[in-house]
Amino acid sequence: MRDTDLFQMALSLVPPWQVAKSEFDADKHRLDLHIDFPRGSRFACPQCGAACPAHDSDMKTWRHLDFFQHQAYLHARVPRASCPAHGPLQVQVPWARPGSGFTLLFEAMILAMAPHMTMRAISRQVGEHDTRLWRIVTHYTDAGRAREDMSGVREVGIDETASRRGQTYVSVFVDLDRAKALFATPGRDAETVGAFAADLRAHGGDPTKVREVACDMGAGFLKGAAEHLPNAKLTLDKFHVTKLVVDAVDEVRREEQRESGWKQVVLKRTRYAWLTSERNQNQRQEQIVEALSLPQLNLKTAKAYRMKLTFQQAYASAGKAGERGLEKWCRWAMRCGLAPMKRAGTTIRQHWQGVVRYFSTGLTTAIMEGINSLIQAAKAKARGYRSDRYLIAMIYLIAGKLDLQTHSK
């Protein structure tokens, strides 16, 4: 069998395309395959599909999968079909998409590697500049999103993820029913929800049909949901509400530790003992809490810790029992004499309907926290991304569950 016949079979080329010759340079670690077509060949018009003769052709080159350890390139004359109805139009070759300098198989390999490796590492491995590789990722994620059908979206979770150091964020909108990222955009204000609503409409969805929204207490998200998702009922995320109380406990501890005398000594290096949930405390933390919770010590931190435990017990209850327990806790917070705990109670009361709706819906943004952990892990491996555009493309690639359609049709 001739080498050209072997490569013809390996590339799955069908007439009129054929491998005309191959060139191998061992010193440059490079294989070049030249593809051509016989004189008189006819090609389908890209507009109407009619079989047309070639008007002229233009030489193009594509990077292909490596041949063993050697880089491989395809070269071909790409003709323009001379269509009587539509004029000369460039033919689409079966091994690459229009405008790309890579074959479909090479692009599929990059997309398979991208969720697991940094683009810089992939760039070093394949010997291509990472900017060219990012173009592959952004093209396919954009194309995959363009095919998305969001007509069934009814429950949406909203959260933000840090895109780089400083107060720079990307807001992520997730379909809670399907556990997939629907939309990501820079910022975390009300306009991000407006941008999501517009994107939802563009993909066949209807913002007025969104029934439930789960998010944190961020003013921007709350305002945006009220404006752009008018029929959605709001459930404030249990994790973020609990964190409000946990942060208040830590604030009480810091204030008390700043007091002079023995409290500075006994509270030193005890932070995580008070903040860690009971079931996750190690032996040392259990001993610290037990020793410092003695009534005779009368520590404000111990009182705040007991309030945290009571709050968690109320939040773990179901239905009306949980709502009554939370209301009772808020009354306690109002008169406890600990300013941070009182502020936490006041904030919960201000967002009461969204907080207690959890007892009827059970909705949380736990799915989003899982997605966020994947995003942050990818960002940490990459040591950040040069632009939000790249981060958003990676969010879609990791969590968008997109049909990327890297194969030729």
The 10s digit of each residue's pLDDT in 280-297 is: 999 999 999 999 999 889
- Beta-carbon contacts of 37 under 8 Å, excluding residues fewer than 6 positions away, are 16, 17, 18, 54, 77, 79
With contact defined as beta carbons under 8 Å apart, do 284 and 335 qualify? Answer: no
- List for the chain the helix, strand, coil content (%; round to 5): 50, 20, 30
Please, which pLDDT band fits residue 1 given cuts at 50, 70 and 90? Answer: low
Q: Report the DSSP pairing between strands 155-164 and 212-215.
A: parallel
Position 58: which residue type? D
Please, which pLDDT band fits residue 369 given cuts at 50, 70 and 90? Answer: confident
pLDDT, position 368: 80
Mean pLDDT for the chain overall = 92
Residue with tokens 């890209």: 46
Residues 347-359: b if buried by 16+ CB within 10 A, e if exposed: bbeeeeebbbbbb
Please state the domain extents for the chain: 3-104, 164-231+367-399, 238-361
Q: What is the pLDDT of residues 154-211, one digit of tens each?
A: 999 999 888 877 678 899 999 999 999 999 999 999 999 999 999 999 999 999 999 9
Residue with tokens 């050697």: 70
What is the spatial distance between Cα 129 and Cα 107, in angstroms, rounded to a whole number? 14
How does DSSP classify residue 312? H
pLDDT, position 345: 96
Please, which pLDDT band fits residue 96 given cuts at 50, 70 and 90? Answer: very high
What is the spatial distance between Cα 409 and Cα 407, in angstroms, rounded to a whole number? 7
Mean pLDDT, residues 28-43 taken together: 94
Of 378, 400, 405, which Cα lies nearest the Cα of 391? Answer: 378
Of 301, 351, 357, which Cα lies nearest the Cα of 330? Answer: 351
Q: Report the DSSP pairing between strands 70-83 and 30-36.
A: parallel
Mean pLDDT, residues 25-32 taken together: 92
- Beta-carbon contacts of 123 under 8 Å, excluding residues fewer than 6 positions away, are 129, 130, 133
Please, which pLDDT band fits residue 407 given cuts at 50, 70 and 90? Answer: low
For residue 162, count other CB atoms closer than 10 A to its CB: 17
What is the spatial distance between Cα 277 and Cα 198, in angstroms, rounded to a whole number? 41
Please, which pLDDT band fits residue 382 given cuts at 50, 70 and 90? Answer: confident
Question: Any idea which of 58-72, 87-101, 357-371 has the lowest mean pLDDT?
Answer: 357-371
Residue 94 CA, chain-centre distance (Å), reads: 32
- Beta-carbon contacts of 109 under 8 Å, excluding residues fewer than 6 positions away, are 65
What is the spatial distance between Cα 276 and Cα 17, in angstroms, rounded to a whole number? 66
The answer to whether residue 409 scores a pLDDT higher than 60 is no
Residue with tokens 């400083």: 166
What is the spatial distance between Cα 382 and Cα 114, in angstroms, rounded to a whole number? 11
The answer to whether residue 89 scores a pLDDT higher than 70 is yes
pLDDT, position 166: 65
pLDDT, position 67: 92
CA angle 371, 216, 399 (to 5 degrees): 15
pLDDT, position 171: 94
Q: What is the pLDDT of residues 233-252, one digit of tens each?
A: 999 999 999 999 999 999 99
Residue with tokens 């002079």: 260
